[in-house]
């Protein structure tokens, strides 16, 4: 996901009308700045869409935001998670402990959560080190992961004990929310179980379109979401996250919501136009990668040459790992489209245009 500068002057809480509020919950040490946690009034009590990062400041901010809305964590009836990433799902366990609320998530992301809880940190460190090695990363980049494993640490990996959901979000079905029509729309790409949530109700300001869409990280007004590989140490399936994402974008565009309520930046209109922009962006990026592949390159070499929001030399360690994963998802897409292939000759893998 391309970082953005957070607007610290924006209010903590915004009333979107029709029993919907957004709360700006901070993300520590992250240029995104905050997660927009949404509060939805229902006939059985308030429901959260996402919860924010598991951090004391984030918890205090969430609590203050709920108080400003006239409620509290203890009164939360349920939590609906757009996807499993820690800036969305991190505080879900604390909310449930304080309120008894249920937590709902798509089955594919619930599987990720379950696997993450059950796996030892060293398994993830071994997996990441091996993946980076196969991608052609230099030893200097892999060494910190090996050192963390040897020391018995987690290597700074976030969200290793996320809360297990107790309800499943079923694509196409209405969630069980008294007095509200909130339908799940499966939008894989950013994660395998990412969902958008379509509020099938007349817009409170009378805007033209089909209700409102809680879009999580799938559709954002000025950021291109990160589309990397789906991470699973035990799964050898060759997935196509970028293809999933592009298909999901078109699905959301056809909904034509009057307003989009994303998890970052700000609410916006013109969903169909934004979808077209993102589809064009990825097509241009694929074309740029294809030009790079006039010679065989490893995913790391491709990432070094891709255009990011800053020069490669200025990209931090963790962001480089994410960038390589994004490069690999685009390379897989080119292979699936028959526009590139993996050369013979072992590891690290090298890709070339065909």
pLDDT of residue 37: 98
Region of 23 on the Ramachandran plot (φ > 0 left; ψ -120 to 50 alpha; else beta): beta
Q: How far apart are CA 57 and CA 14, in angstroms?
A: 19
pLDDT in tens, 87-121: 999 999 999 999 999 999 999 999 999 988 887 77
Look over the chain and give the mean of its residue pLDDT values, rounded to a whole number: 93
Which letter, b or e, does each residue of 111-132 get, where b requires 16 or more Cβ atoms within 10 Å of its Cβ?
Answer: bbbebbeeeebeebbebbbebb
Q: At 164, list the tokens.
A: 């297990």
- Cβ-contact 129, 149 below 8 angstroms: yes
Residue 5, pLDDT score:
47
> Residue 50 — pLDDT band, cuts 50, 70, 90?
very high
Residue 75 vs residues 63, 80, 108, 112, 220: alpha-carbon distances, Å: 11, 15, 28, 28, 30
Give the range among 27-31, 54-58, 328-332 with minimum mean pLDDT: 27-31
Contact 272, 256 (CB under 8 A): yes
Decide: 19 and 45 in contact? Cβ < 8 Å: no
**Predicted confidence band of residue 3 (pLDDT cuts 50, 70, 90):** very low
Strand partners of residue 169: 106
- On whether the CB atoms of residues 48 and 37 are closer than 8 A, the answer is yes
Percent of the chain with pLDDT strictly greater than 70: 95
Q: How high is the pLDDT of residue 6?
A: 53
What sections of 230-270 are H helices per DSSP?
241-255
The residue written with tokens 């006039």 in the block is 294
DSSP 300-349: HHHHHHS--SS-GGGS-HHHHHHHHHHHHHHHHHHHHTTSEEEPSS-SS-
Specify the residue for token string 């070339």.
Answer: 352
Question: Is 163 in contact with 218 (CB distance < 8 Å)?
Answer: no
CA distance 281 to 278: 5
Q: Say whether pLDDT at 328 is over 80.
A: yes
């Amino acid at each position: 996901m391309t970082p953005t500068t957070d607007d610290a002057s924006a209010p903590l809480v915004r009333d979107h009308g029709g029993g919907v509020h957004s709360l700006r919950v901070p993300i520590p040490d992250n240029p995104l700045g905050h997660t927009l946690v949404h509060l939805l009034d229902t006939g059985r009590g308030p429901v959260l869409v996402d919860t924010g990062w598991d951090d004391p400041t984030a918890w205090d901010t969430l609590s203050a935001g709920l108080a400003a809305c006239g409620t509290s964590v203890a009164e939360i009836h349920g939590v609906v998670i757009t996807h499993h990433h820690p800036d969305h799902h991190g505080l879900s366990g604390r909310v449930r402990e304080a309120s008894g609320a249920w937590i709902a998530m798509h089955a594919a992301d619930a599987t990720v959560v379950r696997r993450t809880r059950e796996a030892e940190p060293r398994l993830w460190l071994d997996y990441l080190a091996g993946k980076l090695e196969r991608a052609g990363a230099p030893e200097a980049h892999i060494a910190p992961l090996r050192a963390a494993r040897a020391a018995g640490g987690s290597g700074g990996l976030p969200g290793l004990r996320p809360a297990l959901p107790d309800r499943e979000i079923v694509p196409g079905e209405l969630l069980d929310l008294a007095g509200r029509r909130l339908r799940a729309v499966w939008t894989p790409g950013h994660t395998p179980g990412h969902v958008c949530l379509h509020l099938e109700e007349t817009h409170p300001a009378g805007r033209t379109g089909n209700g409102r869409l809680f879009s999580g990280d799938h559709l954002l007004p000025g950021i291109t979401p990160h589309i990397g590989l789906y991470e699973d140490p035990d799964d050898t399936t060759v997935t196509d996250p970028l293809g999933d994402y592009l298909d999901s974008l078109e699905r959301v565009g056809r909904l034509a919501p009057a307003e989009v309520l994303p998890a970052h930046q700000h609410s916006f209109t013109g969903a169909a136009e934004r979808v077209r922009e993102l589809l064009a962006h990825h097509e241009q990026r694929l074309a740029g990668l294809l030009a790079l592949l006039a010679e065989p390159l490893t995913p790391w070499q491709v990432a070094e040459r891709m255009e990011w929001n800053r020069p490669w030399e200025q990209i931090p360690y963790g962001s480089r790992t994410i960038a390589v994963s994004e490069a690999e998802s685009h390379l897989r897409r080119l292979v699936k489209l028959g526009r590139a292939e993996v050369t013979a000759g072992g590891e690290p893998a090298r890709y070339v245009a065909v």
